[in-house]
Structure 1
Amino acid sequence: MSPISIVIPCFNGAATIARALQSCLSQPDVAQIIVVDDGSTDASASIVRTYAMHDSRIRLLQTARNGGPARARNWAALHAGTPLIAFLDANDEYVPGALGPALDYLAQHPGAAVVRLDVEFVGFPARLNQHPDFARHAAVLSNTVPSSLVMRRSVFLALGGFPMDEVFRRHGGEDGALSWALSEIFAQHRLTDAKRVRMHYHDGIHAEKFMNIQMGFAQVDPPAGDETLNASRAFLDAALANLRQLQAVERVSHAT
């Protein structure tokens, strides 16, 4: 079974980063836990340093100013030294043994680029988690949110990582764009036999915004929706172009 690196972007996550780290440390086969403190103004970095003093697998990277989670994740992935990477947000946590089945799946399916974990949505408002369509929309998010993602690092880098367009900084959706590319190019299998990652509710969480729109509690802003869709389509086109270029290089190298 291949070892794995876990990437955690963190911006002012002092209240939850310890919980996230503890859940990572409980996972077997974890070689690295790379936390990017993305310009935090709270004690996030100090908490991570304390954990790193007791476990050499933890590495702290820091940015001078906040650049957003996509940039933080991509930077951390460049520092990963394992063939597999997983992404966990600082507000979320893995359940014990969460990554083992994902690693087994990728080992048993060498042609699979990615596998998703099923997400438990904790503390979400009753109007959402008691809605008759909650399970359907939760499944969509489980195939989209970064904390469910386990994939081959080579594929992640070939696709260009999470898109960092300014439109995603304004409106969110970089995780949806990457998910779209993964689905179109490779397909995404999700392990649905158990909930393996917990997404904890907090004010302003994008999952709530998505569900509010899908369930009719809010309306999408047409210009923002169009901008995000166009940026996502452009990312998909660029990802396909990257892969075609790599395939062409590979063919030439084999021919010579």
Structure 2
Amino acid sequence: MMDIAVIIPCYNHAQTLERAVRSALQQSHVTQIVIVDDLSSDGSAACARGLCAADPRVQLDVLERNSGPGTARNRGVALANASHILFLDADDELVGDFAGLSARLFEQNPSLIVVKCEVEFFDPIKGYILPAYDPRHTSAILSSSCGMVMERSRFLHMGGFPQGAEFRGPMGGEDVAFMQAVMAHFQPIARVEQVGYRVWSRPGSHLDKFLALTRLNAAGSFEYVPDKARQIEADRVAVAVKHYLDNVALRLSSTLTNAQ
């Protein structure tokens, strides 16, 4: 049976971590849940220890210093022992049995490398937001590593998420860079129509910032609200993304050459 490790980076999400872990425990084929605490200050690690005590599939690793979600995810994958990995943010949750559905797809099609599910976006005050007809919906899904199952070996070959300081600014960017690399090198990617992941929006979250910085336009697409300071930051991150993508391509090329 195919096994899946769920990787949960956590930074100050003590109030939502249990919900995330419970949703992962309800998935079939999940044999391991790795929580990586990014040196939280709100009791997240204590919450995680309680969850570890309640189920042997759950384990905790605490980083020595606050390092960002990319480093936390990379550490989680390094500790995982399953053949496949699934990323889950500590303030979100899995829906249905996305892990089990993904496992069946992988077993039916051995050439598959990545499976991505449909995502729903929920605001505790506004209710469901960012519907499928909003052009930002697809962009939000494809630019996030969450709601995705992939082979652990492929993740390791590409070198994981970028960890540079450039990706720790207000714009983030490590998810966007990672997903660009995945889509460039790891086709085919299967898209599952069923909702398998729920993003919870909150003030200051990546989704909240994304919606605040974008607007729909007359062409039926979306655009970023003009902002000089944001554009300077975006240009800086774009340079880091290109450097990361070049490194991934080089690593994968070297891996292929060695395999031959």
Q: Is the aligned partner of 1:226 residue 2:235? A: yes
Partner residue of 2:149?
150
Residue identity opposite 2:255 in structure 1: L
Matched residue SS, 2:134: helix
Report what 2:205 is aligned to.
205
Counterparts of 1:39-54 in structure 2 under 5 Å?
A: 39-54=39-54
1:175 partner letter: D
Deviations, residues 150-205 of structure 1 (Å, cap 9, x unaligned): 11001111111011111110130100001101111123635342211000011111
CA distance in structure 2 between the partners assigned to 1:104 and 1:48 by the alignment: 30
Q: Distance in 1 between matches of 2:158 and 2:224?
A: 34
Please, what TM-score do these two structures have when normalized by structure 2? 0.89
* Structure 2 contact 48–60 (Cα < 8 Å) conserved: yes
Distance 1:116 1:22 in 2: 21
Higher normalized helix content (fraction of residues): 1
Whether the 8 Å CA contact 1:115–1:190 is kept in 2: the answer is yes
Find the aligned partners of 1:213 and 1:12 in 2 and give their Cα distance: 24
SS at match of 1:147: coil
- Distance across 1 between alignment mates of 2:119 and 2:140: 8
What letter is aligned with 1:18? E
Aligned length: 250
More off after superposition, 73-82 vs 184-193? 184-193
Asked if 2 retains the 8 angstrom alpha-carbon contact of 1:182 and 1:188, the reply is no
The 5 A counterparts of 1:121-200 are 121-123=121-123, 129=129, 135-170=134-169, 171-187=171-187, 189-200=189-200
Name the CA distance, whole Å, in 2 between partners of 1:116 and 1:124: 25
Return the TM-score normalized by structure 1: 0.90
Extract unaligned runs of 5+ from structure 2. 216-222
Structure 1 regions of 5+ residues with no counterpart? 252-256
Q: Distance in 1 between matches of 2:112 and 2:130?
A: 34
Deviation at 1:217, TM superposition (A): 7.1
The alignment yields a C-alpha RMSD, in angstroms, of: 2.1
The AA in structure 1 aligned to 2:225 is: A
Contact 1:120/1:195 (8 A) holds in 2: yes
Match of 2:240, SS?
helix
* 1:192-244 CA-partner distances (Å, limit 9, x unpaired): 42211000011111123223333157335221111111111111111110011
> Counterpart of 2:149 in 1: which secondary structure?
strand
Which residue of structure 1 lines up, in the alignment, with residue 255 of structure 2? 246
Q: What is the distance in 1 between the residues matched to 2:82 and 2:130?
A: 40
Q: Structure 1: which amino acid aligns with 2:193?
A: D
Q: For residue 219 of structure 1, what is the amino acid of its counterpart?
A: P
Residue of structure 2 in register with 1:254 after alignment: none
8 Å CA contact 2:145, 2:178 repeated in 1: no
User: 1:121-158, CA deviations, whole angstroms, 9 ceiling, x for partnerless residues?
Assistant: 001886x9378x86321112112223212110011111
Cα drift, residue 101 of structure 1: 1.3
